[in-house]
Amino acid sequence: MSKKEEDFIENLNLSRDISSEFAIAEKIIRTSAKGRKYIDITIVDRTGQMDGRMFPHPIEVDSVHDSIKLGSVCRIMGRISEFPSDSGKFNMVINVLTELDDDEYQLEDFVMASENNTDDLVGEIRRTIKDMKDPHLKNLLKSFFCDKNFTELFYKSPAAIVHHHNYVGGLLDHTVEVLKISRTACEIFPDLNQDLLFCGVLLHDVGKIKTYTYGNGPISISEEGELLDHIYISCEMVKEKMEKLDTPKELSNQIMHMILSHHGPVSLGWGSSIDPKTPEAKTLHYSDDMDAKIKETFQR
């Protein structure tokens, strides 16, 4: 059964009761200003995402939270309301949430896909690699982007479950957008090592091909992604290639540093294991952060 057009998230902009199907992207137990525990749930469909709140009996909050399966599609009964008042932002208070079987919904209602031309984006990457002067960096990138098994995953993978580029093809979109931002930075700051920066940009999120699952259901995190996170996975993938290619140690350290620090200062708590210290690492971080934040604004 397909969702009704008026029940897609992009159309939920009036206060009303609702009973429809949504996929579960995130869940977390929070405490209100009045001290009441509740479950904060991010729901998604192919048109976008929405914040939902569920208020079970206090003694049932933990068990209800644990019973909600990330990546599942559920029939949700609740009420759409504007919160805070006059903010123009609509949320859902969830009263009943029931997981559905695969034959009870249409998968295409819950999987978003990029609207960009894949060939154009791939062309941008290929031209960047072709124009590189550093043979070690060029060979490293070719070891990834000339590998059909890798590119089939990279060109289709999402970049996230929620927030930004959380759709099929999102990783490719995000990578090329960060590349374009970094290219502009090189025009402003010509002393940046362009080959090093672009190599870091193209490889910083490669681990996301193993971090998320999709295709047989809504986007969800894989076991590997849950336990290791994409930054570690990316580093391991790149390190393995560099060891096989005998990449010079100094260059290897520069690339690994960019990947490990691309989520910014450790104090931010966004996943970096070290602060970005080189000009190229800082440029990658700010380019990545700018693209993610602006894209999230447009997706909401």
Length of the chain: 300
State the Cα angle at 159 between 264 and 253, rounded to 5°: 45
pLDDT digits (tens, 9 = 90+) for 239-271: 999 999 999 999 999 999 999 999 999 998 887
CATH label of the domain that carries residue 158: 1.10.3210
Q: For position 83, which CATH number holds? A: 2.40.50.140
Contact 274, 258 (CB under 8 A): no
Which pLDDT value is given to residue 216?
Answer: 62
pLDDT over threshold 90, residue 162: no
Domain boundary among 109, 142, 172: 109
Count the domains in the chain: 2
Same domain, 85 and 134: no
Domain encompassing residue 157 = 118-299
200 plus 160 within the same structural domain: yes
Q: How far apart are CA 21 and CA 101, in angstroms?
A: 12
Q: Are residues 41 and 123 both part of a single domain?
A: no
Same domain, 139 and 271: yes
**CA–CA separation, 212 vs 224, rounded Å?**
9
Last residue of a domain, one of 109, 133, 162: 109
Confidence band, pLDDT 50/70/90 cuts, at residue 214: confident
pLDDT category at 85 given cuts 50, 70, 90 is: confident
Measured CA to CA, the distance from residue 295 to residue 291 in angstroms comes to 6
- Structural tokens at position 79: 């009420």
Domain shared by 130 and 153, yes or no:
yes
Q: Going by C-beta distance under 8 Å and a sequence separation of 6 or more, which residues neighbour residue 75?
A: 19, 20, 21, 96, 97, 98, 100, 104
